[in-house]
Amino acid sequence: MAGSVNKVILVGNLGRDPEVRRMNSGDSVVSFSVATTESWRDKMSGERKERTEWHNVVIFNENLGKIAEQYCKKGSKVYLEGQLQTREYQDKDGNPRKVTEVVLQRFRGELTLLDSRGRGGDMSDGDSGSYESSGGGSFGRQSPMEKRPAAAGSGRMADVIDDDIPF
């Protein structure tokens, strides 16, 4: 294999409201935790068991950060794509610490709100919303796996131009 892949996909619930901080450059950083839970039936006892994993999420993307800040609340169900990053720091007592986070970078990552209106998020239109850092055009998709409909119409060139072309 010539390269490698660092991609994380999570579907889970926010464990706390997003926290917004500002870097010295003025850029915002949004962080929150996401819980993912798996459940199974124990073969020996037959009882239902579950395990919850907590994931720290950090958003360096300004647009995704604004969406998280506005619409995500504790308990909101989200789909997100990012990368794993481990960083080292010193705690208050000077002890070295390591933390691994799911990071949505400036031009990479995706955040999709999976709750309908009145549940976790507070979206005004009642639909799920998808937001990608790679550009517009994904708002309102119902599923992260759903493809955009193909251009249909009179067959004129203007009808088939893809607005996502970066030039």
Integer Cα distance of 104 and 111 in angstroms: 9
**Cα distance between residue 35 and residue 76, in whole Å:** 10
**Tens-digit pLDDT string for the chain (167 aa):** 579 999 999 999 999 999 999 999 988 999 999 999 999 999 999 999 999 999 999 999 999 999 999 999 999 999 999 999 999 999 999 999 999 999 999 888 999 999 875 454 433 333 445 555 444 434 444 444 444 444 444 444 444 555 555 55
Pull the structure tokens for residue 86: 């481990």
DSSP string for residues in 129-155:
EEEETT-SS-TT-S-TTPPPPPP-SS-
Give which of 54, 98, 66, 60 is closest to 82, Cα–Cα: 60
**pLDDT on residue 84:** 96
Q: Which domains does the chain have, with CATH numbers?
A: 8-37+50-147 (2.40.50.140)
pLDDT attached to residue 150: 46
Burial class of 115 by CB neighbour count within 10 A (0 to 12, 13 to 18, 19+): buried
